[in-house]
Chain A
Amino acid sequence: MRYKIILPLTVLLFACRQATSELNNAAEDNGSIPAHSLDGTVMNIFVNTKLNTTSTLYRNDISRTDSATDIDLDARPASMLTLVTWKQRPNPRWYGANMPDSLLSVETLRIHLDTFYEYYAGRPLKLAVNPDSTERKIWIARQEPMILP
């Protein structure tokens, strides 16, 4: 009788652990970043080998424009760019590959006539003041989309 209870429980616990370990939980959002931040499509990705970080720049659908069309920035409706930065770690499944690890910061840049910048950092992520916000706004705004066929 005891085995009838223990066995299913063991299987359940094992199954839960398996499912969790297959996901990159360390890279999950653990704070109060804007809900739409990760909804955009990937615009480009970056790696800083000195800081051992990796970043993904997302853009929302509104701001998705082909650089070839050269649309005037101010003529567009509001656009949102989001730069998410993670610590980097080796992929345990393949020596030679690095992947995102713990979430370090989220920077959002809304572009419409004027720019509106927000910076989230810490664990859990909280709205914070970035002393380098001027440089960061310029850096994010000037990034070009990656080449796609």
Chain B
Amino acid sequence: MSWIDIGDINDIPLRGARKVKTAQGCIAVFRTGEAEVFATSNTCPHKQGPLNEGIVHDRKVTCPLHNWVFDLETGEAQGADEGRIMTYAARVEDGRVLIEAAKLGRQAA
């Protein structure tokens, strides 16, 4: 798998997220632990809420607009709500955040 370096882990607040612009639309990169990250589509399937602005708890995020909760590992909406967000492989290496290049439709730099 090839990876794209998108920045320093400390640019994402612990239990927070940042947005990354891509040709395919915005991705949200979540930091759930000191060195644990997840990447998903930034757009809530309900009414397009920006997920990078949600509250991050455990390995989940709550959409800021109407509180749908998504599992960051599977992308599935939790509880009674139905929907799914796209997930991307992401990892931390030497303090850098890497996300998978393949699904973004481009080669790693």
Are both chains from one complex?
Answer: no
Interface residue ranges, B against A (CB under 8 Å): none
